[in-house]
Amino acid sequence: MQAIAVFFLVSVAIGGVVYVFIYPYLSGERKAEQRMQSVAKTEPLSRAARGPQKSRRDIVESSLKDLEERRKKSKSVPISVRITRAGLTWSKRQFVIISAAIGVGMFAFGFLSGTGLLAAAGLGFAGAFGVPRWLLSFLRKRREAKFLEGLPDAVDIIVRGVKAGLPLLDCIKMITVESSEPLKTEFRLIMETQAIGMPLGEACGKLYERTPLPEANFFGIVVAIQ
């Protein structure tokens, strides 16, 4: 019975170590990158095809190139940004302390279970580096799914409000009241950023930094163009 327990803990340790390195390929992040690439692809417009809307098309092309640059940079982001994207209010120090506590706890559990020092070290490594990052990834994907679920309704509120003659800022205020999380928080941050002097287009562009989705980026592009 003890041999089975030791074998199980060793397997968990090895799986935890492997998880840290291959999880991005299994968690859907690779699919998200491919989705971003498909959205960012654009064919350059010929000079002859550019008519009276030349300046607008130039803005669109520039924005799409900016999207591609952002996608490349988003592959490696600081822990503080990952925490924000997960919807948590932890500081970087709190995250490090929690990660260390999980790692020490799993190391102690493995060592006291008699799995050996190497297996216990593997468990500790997986607990300190694998589990916290898995948690951030899980919370981020859940938050992004809720954002995408509520975004069409938010856009509909803006479209109907603009058609009725309301200013865009008033339409965004309606979203902060009528929409659910995380839409409510994100659009409230847009308003707060705009209130301190940043143009509304740039404030909407910041949405992509907190929610790295193609839809969020194109929302900022459309607002900036209009």
What pLDDT is attached to residue 60?
Answer: 58
Note the pLDDT tens digit of each residue in 195-213.
898 888 889 988 998 999 9
Residue 48: pLDDT band with limits 50, 70, 90:
very low
Q: Which residue intervals of the chain are DSSP H helices?
A: 2-26, 29-40, 54-73, 79-85, 92-112, 117-125, 131-163, 168-178, 183-195, 200-205, 207-210, 214-225
Q: What is the pLDDT of residue 96?
A: 94
Provide the whole-model pTM: 0.68
Residue 184: predicted pLDDT = 93
Q: Specify whether the backbone of 167 is left (phi greater than 0), alpha (psi in -120 to 50) or beta.
A: beta
Instruction: Kindly state the greatest CA–CA separation across the chain.
Output: 79
Using left for φ > 0, alpha for ψ between -120 and 50, and beta otherwise, residue 87 falls in left
Band (8; pLDDT cuts 50, 70, 90): very low
**Cβ(101)–Cβ(124) below 8 Å:** no
Q: How far is CA 218 from the centre of its chain?
A: 15
Q: Is 155 helix (H, G, I), strand (E, B) or coil?
A: helix
What is the structure's pLDDT at 50?
Answer: 42
Per-residue pLDDT of 137-168, as tens digits, reads 999 999 999 999 999 999 999 999 999 999 99
Three-state secondary-structure class, residue 43: coil
Q: Which residue has the higher pLDDT, 73 or 4?
A: 73
Tell me the one-letter amino acid at 154.
A
Average pLDDT along the chain:
78
How high is the pLDDT of residue 43? 41
At 86, list the tokens.
């997960």
